[in-house]
Structure 1
């Protein structure tokens, strides 16, 4: 598809634009809504294939595939009154808005899908969950890394709940760097080391021949430092707390 529309130019919208445009010989034409005017203007100034439209209806009219990336509370206002041709594919990246609700707003004949793109689409390294599987949608996200279609909306919501753990992970790393600085390390050096330590560890996730449990075991020695911290800090009680909060997040998404 050579004409892509994006309604809602926040972090994910910007990342999609960069992933489709940076270093690409023949990027698609990208049509942005005026929402997030500053970001939209910056993207159109940086990428010659990007233009800002006068309104959301113009985005739809000019596009083969439209990404809806507004915040959940803004969805009704952003989509109200939109007329979508049945040849236009609409992809919602809004968490917590079911396909049935989108159909009520946009009409029953519009091809609809949901997706969970994350910031690594900017580097075309993202595994993007999609539902339902649609050739155009899966091909689109394959351009940005990899598409992972799931069987039903319940599975999609489980994947969506998992994304809620990302900032906890970053805060965990920030706590490690702060602890190290509190013990005399230069704060910049502490943060640089934590980034390098976990960046290197993260690359081992590409080895899909080993399960996550196997990776954890392979990084531990009996009675070693890793085992001591894991069994003392991330004990069964903490694991149960994490499971419970994920359950509450999932309940909100259903």
Structure 2
């Protein structure tokens, strides 16, 4: 795919463009909407072949594949009156917006594919879930760290719910840092240590020969400190609360 448009140059749109432009091999032409003007201007100045268009219709007209990455509450305003020819491919990365809803708004027969790219696609280090599978879309995200196509939108929504846990993990780390600062460590020192601690753990996730439960066991000593925190904090009640929160989110996504 040689001509790619991006409508909505926020965190995800910017990450996709950066990943594509810094990937090995031939770069595509990229056409950006004026939404997120500052980020769009920065990307166009940094990378050859990236252009900012006068409006969203120009993005669509110039592109073979269009990525819609606006915030879901903004989609009605951003996409109002947009004409999308049936020969275009539209990639919907808006969380919680089904393809049927987007097709109804655009009133188009174009191919629509949902995707869940994470910010790490900027470094081509994140697997992206797509639905349904499509050769051009899957090839695009394969360049950005890998692709996991699913045919069932119900399964796609489960992946979408899983992706919503990222900031919970970060807040957990922030809570650890605050606890350490409350016990006299300088906040910046505590944060540096926590970051390093979990970056090392993150690297262990690359070992797919061990399950997540096995990795946890391998990091514990029986009756040791890790086991004590896990069993006293991550109780059946907290596990049930997390399961319920995910179930509630999935109900909203269905």
**Normalised by the size of structure 1, how large is the TM-score?**
0.96
The residue correspondences of 1:157-168 to structure 2 (distance < 5 A) are: 157-168=157-168
Match of 1:219 in 2: 219
Match of 1:45 in 2: 45
The residue correspondences of 1:136-215 to structure 2 (distance < 5 A) are: 136-215=136-215
**Matched position secondary structure for 2:84:** coil
Match of 1:83 in 2: 83
Shift of 1:25: 5.1
Shift of 1:26: 2.8
- Give the Cα–Cα distance (whole angstroms) in 2 for the partners of residues 2 and 174 of structure 1: 42
- Give the Cα–Cα distance (whole angstroms) in 2 for the partners of residues 107 and 206 of structure 1: 43
Shift of 1:233: 0.4
What's the CA shift string for 1:133-182, capped at 9, x where partnerless?
00001000001000001130001011111111111101111111121122
What's the CA shift string for 1:50-101, capped at 9, x where partnerless?
1100111100111111100011111122222222222211000001111111
Q: Which runs of structure 1 show a deviation greater than 4 angstroms over 4 or more consecutive aligned residues?
A: none
Deviates more, 1:7-16 or 1:184-193: 184-193
**Matched position secondary structure for 1:179:** helix
Count the aligned residue pairs: 254
Match of 1:2 in 2: 2
Shift of 1:116: 0.2
- Give the Cα–Cα distance (whole angstroms) in 1 for the partners of residues 76 and 103 of structure 2: 12
**Does 1:97 pair with 2:100?**
no
- Give the Cα–Cα distance (whole angstroms) in 2 for the partners of residues 133 and 23 of structure 1: 22
Structure 1 residues 10 and 178: CA distance shift in structure 2, 3 A: same
- Give the Cα–Cα distance (whole angstroms) in 1 for the partners of residues 25 and 252 of structure 2: 42
Match of 1:242 in 2: 242
Match of 1:16 in 2: 16
Question: What is the Cα-based RMSD across aligned positions, in Å?
Answer: 1.2
**Matched position secondary structure for 1:145:** coil
Unaligned stretches of 5+ in structure 1?
A: none
Shift of 1:249: 0.9
